[in-house]
Amino acid sequence: MTTQIIEAVLEEAKRHGAEKVTEVQMSIGKMTFLGNEQVRFSYKILTEDTIMKDSKLIIEEKDGVIHCTNCGYKGEVQLKDDPAYHIPVPTLQCPKCGKTAKIVEGKECTIKSIRMIKKEEEK
Amino acid sequence: MANTKDVIKGEKVTLKIEPGMNILQVNKQLAQKNIELLRKNNVKAIDIMGSIGAGKTSLIEKLVQKLKKKYRIAVFKGDLTTTIDAERIGRHGVQVVTINTGRECHLDANVVARAIERINLKEIDLLIIENVGNLICPAEFPLGTDKRFVVVSVTEGPYMIIKHPFTFMNADVMVINKKDLAETMKIDTRKLEKQAIQIKPDLKVAITNALTGEGVEELIKAMEL
């Protein structure tokens, strides 16, 4: 995943003629299995030999939002907190009608912005 | 964007762009293309997820045996490096394409599209895709199938479902396999079922023993095949 993120950033940087990328801002949904820390770790290693070396990675986490097509409820993903497991488990169950709702937010992995340095040509 | 008037040639400027590019979107679009191509050719497609050793390949063998009279079947078999499983499935007289991912822990819509190019869609009605054995990564990569089912087996312990909620949210059917070992493993399959329903109320459940074929009919029904 991180490789794909970096490839996409490098491509954008190339398109804009950048010689260095200084900052990448990402938005990652909490309804994905993408771990913040792991993305950071692999980002650091994978950018080492690129113009993205030492660039700052900002990750904004996005909460999950569900929409129920049965009753129209739209809101944050509910958590089932079963004391037997110690961890709250997210559920697609609509808190209003109990039917299965759809995830409308929280599944993204978006490159929001890239800050780069380039040599400006005289216009 | 820097004000170009103040910039002399060769001076360095900082540029900020906002691509708003969703990395997962690329795969989703490819998956959409796959499903459109399959539907155009009247091919149903299913994706099978599950841990290593959950019984995905054994279940496919049983599915193929039961369904090969009704459908002309092709199987895509995601595997890191070997063709062992492909040979197992191939014995049942269906076309098998191994997708060796090498290092990748999941299939994606792109490798599936490449594999589709290797078969003649006019010659099949059902495409079964076995994902790489992994309960995590495949959840984020739809392949362009009509339905997905996820296999858990009782030997994986009582917490497989709640540990991987997103995988179950992304599935249409859950199979609890190795039913015959439930008692030995002290696993109550009803509890597993309850956990899954808590995460996704409309998830269908089939309880199987892939070695004997028990429960496979229920799976076929749940998958509407």
Place of tokens 């070992």: B181
Terminal-residue alpha carbon distance, chain B: 56
Report yes or no: B126 and B67 within 8 Å, Cβ to Cβ.
Answer: yes
Q: What was the pLDDT predicted at A85?
A: 64
Q: What was the pLDDT predicted at B6?
A: 42
Q: Which residues of A touch B8 (CB under 8 A)?
A: 122
The widest CA-to-CA distance across chain A, in whole angstroms, is: 67
Rounded to a whole number of angstroms, the distance from the CA of A44 to the nearest CA of chain B is 18
Hey, are the CB atoms on A33 and B201 less than 8 Å from each other? no
ipTM: 0.75
Hey, are the CB atoms on B20 and A103 less than 8 Å from each other? no
Hey, are the CB atoms on B198 and A90 less than 8 Å from each other? no
Q: What was the pLDDT predicted at A84?
A: 66
Whole-structure pTM value: 0.84
What tokens does A37 get? 């820390």
Taking the C-alpha atoms of B143, B140, B162 and B179 in order, what is their torsion angle to the nearest 10 degrees? Answer: 20
Pairing of strands B21-22, B73-79: unpaired
Report yes or no: A27 and A108 within 8 Å, Cβ to Cβ.
Answer: yes
Q: Round the average pLDDT of chain B to a whole number and report it.
A: 89
Rounded to a whole number of angstroms, the distance from the CA of B32 to the nearest CA of chain A is 17
Q: Which residues of B touch A90 (CB under 8 A)?
A: 165-166, 169, 199
Q: How far apart are CA B35 and CA B38, in angstroms?
A: 5
Q: Which residues of A touch B162 (CB under 8 A)?
A: 82, 85, 87, 89
CB atoms under 10 Å from CB of A5, counted, come to 24
DSSP B180: G
Terminal-residue alpha carbon distance, chain A: 38
* B10, closest residue in chain A (CA to CA): A119
Taking the C-alpha atoms of B80, B82, B88 and B93 in order, what is their torsion angle to the nearest 10 degrees? Answer: 90
Instruction: Give B 127-146 residues with CB within 8 A of chain A.
Output: 136-137, 139-140
Kindly report which listed range (A11-25, B5-19, B27-41, B76-90) carries the lowest average pLDDT score: B5-19
Q: What was the pLDDT predicted at B88?
A: 87
A39 close contact with B: CB closer than 8 A: no
Phi-psi sector, B95: left (phi>0), alpha (psi -120 to 50), beta: beta
What tokens does B86 get? 């492909």
* A106, closest residue in chain B (CA to CA): B166
pLDDT at B2 exceeding the cut of 50: no
Name the residue type at position B30.
L
Segment B75-96 shows an average pLDDT of: 85
Report yes or no: B140 and A34 within 8 Å, Cβ to Cβ.
Answer: yes
Hey, are the CB atoms on A120 and B2 less than 8 Å from each other? yes
CB atoms under 10 Å from CB of A17, counted, come to 12
Q: How far apart are CA B209 and CA B58, in angstroms?
A: 9
Q: What was the pLDDT predicted at B133?
A: 86
What tokens does B37 get? 């191509």
The pLDDT tens digits along chain A (123 residues) read 888 899 999 999 999 999 999 999 999 999 888 888 889 999 999 999 999 999 999 999 999 999 999 999 999 998 887 666 667 889 999 999 999 999 999 988 999 999 999 876 655
Name the residue facing B12 among A34, A93, A117 (closest C-beta): A117
